Amino acid sequence: MKNYTIALIPGDGIGHDVTEAAWAVLEVAAKHSGFALNGARFPWSCAFYRETGSMMPADGIKTLRKFDAILLGAVGWPAVVPDAVSLHGLLLPIRKEFTQYANIRPHRLLAGVNGPLKATEFDILCIRENTEGEYSGAGGRVHRGTGDEVAVETSVFTRAGVERILRFGFAQARKRRGKLASVTKSNAQRYSMVFWDEMTQRVAAEYPDVEVTSYHVDALAARMILAPESLDVVVASNLFGDILTDLGAAIQGGLGFAASANINPDRNAPSMFEPVHGSAPDIAHLGTANPIAAIWSGAMMLDHLGERDAAARVIAALETTTSHGIGTVQGKERTEAITTAVLSRLSQ
């Protein structure tokens, strides 16, 4: 029997509820498919920061490196710890230290879920560059608190970083419908985005079977609303991808359905899987968080580990659950009720 070690980081707010829900589903899926998941929980969070002064211990990355994958709940408690501190203290270091350069977010409607658009037959895979670009962390502030204060934030685009995310995107498009949309803003950003466009053209020559189109980010945002069915794989920089995938979450019914994977394609370090919705402190005590995004993220983890049958079983259980109207409306059912429904379908 195969055994996989999984680092569980529930984090903050509703992250605890949805991580436990996802873990319960994943354990059952593993049992049915003949492998085992061994989880180790870590309390790293904003609460941990209040106690220790850091989001995770100094040896946190070393500790996580031995695991096969990481399942994250949510990070953030802005009333207590500034988001710039919590993000740069936990999530971004994990992504960068483990070279999880491909952030993958699927956008489609689960059965029974009503989105805000007239269009329903769309299936978009957004691939966001995850380790550099606009979130490189290069910059600073001088003359703080004075009338001469200056803030500089430098976007860093490397040839290696841009090429590898584009190649990853082209490879995914080749497995799907053979269409790739490259997101740019080269009419205004004449250095970084012109460079991005040049790299897109260069890499596209290696994939003559994939239809590639470059879109300005504002035009692509409009297309996601007006003609989402025309899109297949979308590849974007860190900032553009971050914004567009929240739009993708909106058109698929809301953040409660938005799953994601932070992938190290070279597999020389663990990848991390997390729902997109954040910690939602305002509902953390209500027990009404929708666990579907976390469960879907868990299915992506199983697929990444090579357990594709188990991953498919989890997705099928989700689809059957939502097709019966369970978990499709935020706050209608409690977290536990949705989880129980998914477990029931998974065991059938």
**Catalytic hit among 17, 101, 185, 207:** 185
- Rounded CA separation 63/138 (Å): 26
Q: Is 101 a catalytic residue?
A: no
Q: Which residue has the tokens 């998941």?
A: 37
- The separation between CA 218 and the C-alpha centre of its own chain, rounded to angstroms, equals 21
**Catalytic hit among 68, 232, 242, 303:** 242
Residue 295 Cα distances to 83, 114, 126, 327, angstroms:
25, 19, 19, 12
- Rounded CA separation 284/150 (Å): 38
DSSP letters for 105-174: EEEEPPTT---SSS----EEEEEEE-SSEEEEEEEEEESTTSTT-EEEEEEE--HHHHHHHHHHHHHHHH
Backbone angle region of 137, left / alpha / beta, with phi > 0 → left and psi within -120 to 50 → alpha: left
Helix (H, G, I), strand (E, B) or coil at 323: helix
Q: Is 209 a catalytic residue?
A: no
- Rounded CA separation 137/43 (Å): 25
* Backbone torsions φ then ψ of 99, nearest 5 degrees: 50, 45
Q: Is 309 a catalytic residue?
A: no
**Catalytic hit among 135, 207, 215, 303:** 135
**Catalytic hit among 218, 282, 309, 332:** 218
Catalogue the active-site residues: 135, 185, 218, 242, 246
